[in-house]
């Protein structure tokens, strides 16, 4: 989704999706969303809308990766953790939908109320669930692959 990132400018200052999601304060986010002009506004709008389609591949993909990795370890605790991470991916997906809905609504009407704290918690939880799932499954698969290669020598 980086193909639109170069269009994210507010005057002569560049801003990012990650900044909007995780790092900007309520004041900074409100400043960006209330002062954004074309073509950055349409690029951001397209990116957020495209993200809904992108989500349909990412979260099921992470869940699938966790389930594939789950078959590799013999320790039940690791298998259970990977299963739990796979089952949590729809939660991360729902959080991503809520996040994009907030941003699209705030772009339309740049008024951010008390929901800002919830917004940041939802975004942080989404990232934590998705990254933990992808990272854990990848580590298990790489580790098992290395062990298999070592045993076949």
- In the chain, where are the structural domains located? 2-151
Summarised one tens digit per residue, pLDDT across range 109-133 is 989 999 999 999 999 999 999 999 9
The answer to whether residues 123 and 95 touch, using CB atoms and an 8 Å cutoff, is: yes
87/66 Cα distance (integer angstroms)? 9
The answer to whether residues 53 and 23 touch, using CB atoms and an 8 Å cutoff, is: no
Lookup result for tokens 């290395």: 146
123/144 Cα distance (integer angstroms)? 32
Lookup result for tokens 């998705």: 130
Which pTM value belongs to this model?
Answer: 0.87
30/6 Cα distance (integer angstroms)? 21
127/48 Cα distance (integer angstroms)? 16
Give the model's pLDDT for residue 153.
64
Summarised one tens digit per residue, pLDDT across range 20-52 is 899 999 999 998 998 888 888 888 899 999 999
């Amino acid at each position: 989704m980086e193909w639109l990132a170069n269009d994210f400018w507010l005057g002569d200052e560049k801003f990012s999706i990650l900044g909007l999601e995780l790092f900007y304060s309520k004041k900074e986010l409100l400043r960006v969303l209330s002062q954004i002009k074309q073509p950055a506004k349409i690029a951001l709008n397209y990116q957020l809308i495209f993200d809904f389609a992108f989500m349909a591949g990412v979260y099921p993909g992470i869940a699938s990766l966790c389930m594939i990795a789950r078959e590799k370890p013999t320790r039940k605790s690791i298998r259970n953790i990977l299963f739990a991470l796979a089952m949590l991916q729809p939660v991360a997906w729902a959080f991503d939908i809520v996040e994009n809905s907030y941003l699209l609504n705030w772009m339309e009407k740049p008024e951010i109320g008390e929901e800002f704290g919830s917004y940041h918690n939802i975004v942080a939880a989404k990232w934590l669930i998705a990254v933990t799932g992808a990272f854990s499954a990848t580590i298990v698969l790489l580790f098992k692959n290395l062990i298999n290669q070592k045993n076949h020598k």
